[in-house]
Chains A and B, each alone.
Chain A
């Protein structure tokens, strides 16, 4: 089964994947794929150097499958790490309000002062309900693995 290397970024804890060029990316789709266990273990050794260099914490090997729509993590836990919570977690107070203006674009994007040491790509874990549904739908990575 193909594998990728994942970790959490030290400065902000965000889930990242080891990419082909040696940097870390927020999207699973940009992860470097390791075909065998031996290759993944070699990749993990490299990742552990980045942990020593204080770029990331707790790098691990993650099993994935690849199909027409791209890479998917095999376990539910890793699928959730890859896509973010499966729930509609961003607040939409306005949606509840009686007679209030229509829901506005959520402005809750993290405006961290953290000095990030890696390029900050579009956050794959932003609010995409449809993507979340995929996790719970029958064609989810977890189901596929059964």
Chain B
């Protein structure tokens, strides 16, 4: 993975010192809240309902064991013993004291981490497929390009005060695991007719109060032009994006209002004008960054692991875990293991310090020192030998971390909601917990098969409800929580915004309503091979409406 050089180290250290001074001046009264707020936000410090919240960047969701242990240490030393992994592959701590934040950032700097650009109208953490560099279906590892974008965009003077925040995702396989079409820019690594690898460019996707799917504005962008093209898009956005209305300030609105074809022409013109500028990426620089992400040297193994097959044959729990949470690695004899942070009835994305340490230990012993954060709020051990899988499973199970529910009805994405968030209009986590308890991890969940339920506690859609196969949006209606259901959303390469079923449901009704939707699917599907999304796409909204509302 990427290692800081002297420049990076000094840059982050200087930033910590600067923030330490800013916090001291705030606490002494030299700065008032109005002056200080933008400064703390630039360092990832929000003020939530109960306390400050610190959001820490995890670039493209890649962590080393040392970094994860540091997060565990911070959780214990400065917080309440846990952290929350987010839908943008970051981690949030919910209870840090402001006065401790400079020390926390100093601890993070020791392991080459920071909280820069995790808030504000700038280019945020660049995200990527959590299986990057390991997936069998990958064209090329997206992380070197995410890292190049990260370096280029860090404190970029032209893009530190954009009309609104700006999110970029890069995906390296045909299967989109990075939700690139709901990002401001989505880069999809593709191979052209000449066998050259580059990017298809999507622009103007996003969720929030106006969910829009990104438009492809270029079929093939050579790697050398990655920064020049990104720069062209940002220039157009920075000039033309609306600053008069916060709710219409994202690039998706600009693309939507002007039309993708117009934006394409403008971006291409800007790109053509500046293509030969200093932004062309030299091949040796690409190679230098790629070297940091060189695949780990995995000892050759037999394609079939006897230890793995034997355990699978004798232990149903292990067999289910392997079927649900382990996917093919590109190296024979290895698998990619998703560690679910969705225990049945648990809080989606939360991990205790102990869990983090267990996973860090396992990554060190069995996964080539790598951990990934999935945007679905799970952790991933990307390089596990199938021979080692029984031991990895046992150690995960010993910590309650072996829930075999990846991609199932209980693998729910949920934002923090009104339990923590100052923006929320309703709670998300308790709804996720009740749905999880209702379906459990037994035969019923397996019978339902792949089903993504995403829950947001307000219209800002941090819980990606628009792109859940079933989405739940928590609202406030006459002083009470109300939950709107959407169906048919998807965040992958078949990206789609879900459609609203109709009137909302009360907190008491919502779990039953979700059950009605699921039961309707089970009744109408064309066999168990047809998953929820496929069935919805075939039969449409009507049967679900009928089941939910009858003759209302």
Chain A residues packing against B (C-beta within 8 Å) = 8, 10-15, 51-54, 57-58, 75-77, 80-81, 84-87, 89-98, 100, 106-115, 125, 136, 142, 145-146
* B347 in contact (CB, < 8 A): yes
Which of B48-56, B175-183, B296-304, B514-522 lies at the interface with chain A? Answer: B48-56
Kindly state the separation between the CA atoms of A99 and B355 in the bound complex, as whole angstroms: 17
Q: Contact at B481–A97, with CB atoms within 8 Å?
A: no
Question: Lowest 3 A-B CB distances belong to which pairs?
Answer: A96-B400, A108-B81, A91-B352
Alpha-carbon distance A79/B98, docked complex (angstroms): 24
Interface residues of B (CB under 8 A from A): 26-29, 32-33, 47-52, 76-82, 94-95, 97-100, 103, 343, 347, 350, 352-355, 397-400, 418-420, 427, 429-430, 433, 476, 478-481, 507
Closest residue on chain A to residue B419 by CB atoms: A85
How many A-B contacts at CB < 8 Å in the complex? 135
Chain A residues lying within 8 Å of B398, measured Cβ to Cβ, are: 97-98, 100
Query: Closest CB-CB distance, B432 to chain A, in whole Å?
Result: 10
Q: Is the CB of B81 within 8 A of A13?
A: no
Q: Is the CB of A90 within 8 A of B80?
A: yes
Q: A142, B480: Cβ atoms under 8 Å?
A: yes
Contacts of A51 in B (CB 8 A): 33
Question: Is there an interface contact between A57 and B99, defined as CB atoms closer than 8 Å?
Answer: no
Q: A10-B26, A97-B398 are in contact. Are A115 and B99 (CB under 8 A)?
A: yes
12 contacts between A and B (CB under 8 A): A10-B26, A54-B32, A89-B419, A91-B81, A96-B400, A97-B399, A108-B76, A108-B79, A110-B78, A110-B97, A112-B99, A114-B99
A93-B418 contact, Cβ under 8 Å, with A13-B98, A14-B50, A87-B429 = no
State A64–B290 Cα separation when bound (angstroms): 59
A36 to chain B, nearest CB (A): 22
B33 contacts which chain A residues (CB < 8 A)? 51, 57-58
Within 8 Å CB of A98, what residues of B? 397-398
Report B-chain residues with C-beta under 8 Å of the C-beta of A93: 352, 354-355, 399-400
Q: Looking at the complex, which one of A11, A80, A86, A97 makes contact with B99 (CB distance below 8 Å)? A: A11
What residue of chain A has the Cβ atom nearest to residue B352's Cβ? Answer: A91
For residue A58, which residues in chain B have a CB less than 8 angstroms away from its CB?
33, 47
Residues of A within 8 A of B79 (CB): 108, 110
How distant is the Cα of A8 from the Cα of B98 in the complex, in angstroms?
11
Partner of A12, one of B94, B99, B429: B99
CB-defined contacts of B77 to chain A, threshold 8 Å: 111
Closest B residue by C-beta to A140: B480
Q: Could you say which residues of chain A place their CB within 8 Å of the CB of B420?
A: 85
Chain B nearest CB from A102 CB (Å) reads 15
Residue of A nearest to B345 (CB): A88
In angstroms, how far is the closest chain B Cβ from the Cβ of A108?
Answer: 3
Q: Is the CB of B26 within 8 A of A85?
A: no
Contact in complex: A86, B430 (CB < 8 Å)? yes
A13 touches B50 (CB 8 A): yes
Contact B49 A15 (CB under 8 A): yes
B430 touches A53 (CB 8 A): no
Further pairs besides A58-B33, A110-B79, A115-B99: 9, Cβ < 8 Å: A12-B98, A77-B418, A86-B430, A91-B350, A93-B354, A100-B398, A110-B78, A114-B99, A145-B479
A54 to B36 CA separation, bound complex (whole angstroms):
12
Q: Is the CB of B80 within 8 A of A110?
A: yes
Contacts of A80 in B (CB 8 A): 49, 418-419, 427
Pick the residue among B50, B97, B347 that contacts A15 (CB under 8 A): B50
CB distance from A125 to the nearest CB of B (A): 6
Report the nearest A residue to B83, measured CB to CB: A91
Which of A87, A107, A114, A125 is the most central at the interface, judged by chain B CB atoms within 10 Å of its CB?
A87
Q: Would A12 and B51 count as touching, CB distance under 8 A?
A: yes
Specify which chain B residues have a CB less than 8 angstroms from the CB of A89 in the assembled complex: 80, 82, 94, 347, 350, 419
Q: Which of A57, A77, A112 contacts B47 (CB 8 A)?
A: A57
Residue of B nearest to A92 (CB): B352
Shortest C-beta distance, B228 to chain A (Å), equals: 42
> How far does the Cβ of B139 sit from chain A's closest Cβ, in whole Å?
39
Bound-state Cα–Cα, A90 to B351, Å = 10
Q: A92 to chain B: which residues have CB within 8 Å? A: 352
Cβ–Cβ contact B50 & A125, under 8 A:
yes
Write out the residue numbers on chain B whose beta carbons fall within 8 Å of the beta carbon of A113: 97, 99-100, 103
**Minimal beta-carbon separation of B339 from chain A (angstroms):** 13
Chain B nearest Cβ from A114, distance in angstroms: 3
Q: Please report the C-alpha to C-alpha distance between residue A98 and residue B480 in the assembled complex, in whole angstroms.
A: 40
- In the assembly, what is the distance between CA of A94 and CA of B76, in Å? 15
Question: With the chains together, A16 CA to B75 CA distance in Å?
Answer: 23
CB distance from B87 to the nearest CB of A (A): 18
Q: Is the CB of A11 within 8 A of B27?
A: yes
- Neighbour of A54 across the interface among B29, B95, B476, B480, CB < 8 A: B29
Q: Pick from A57, A125, A142 the residue with the most CB of B within 10 Å.
A: A57
**Alpha-carbon distance between A145 and B99 when the two chains are bound, in angstroms:** 38
Residues of A within 8 A of B479 (CB): 75-76, 142, 145-146
Determine the residue in chain B with the shortest Cβ distance to A117: B27
A54 to B397, CA, bound (A): 48
**A15 and B48 alpha carbons, distance in the complex (Å):** 10
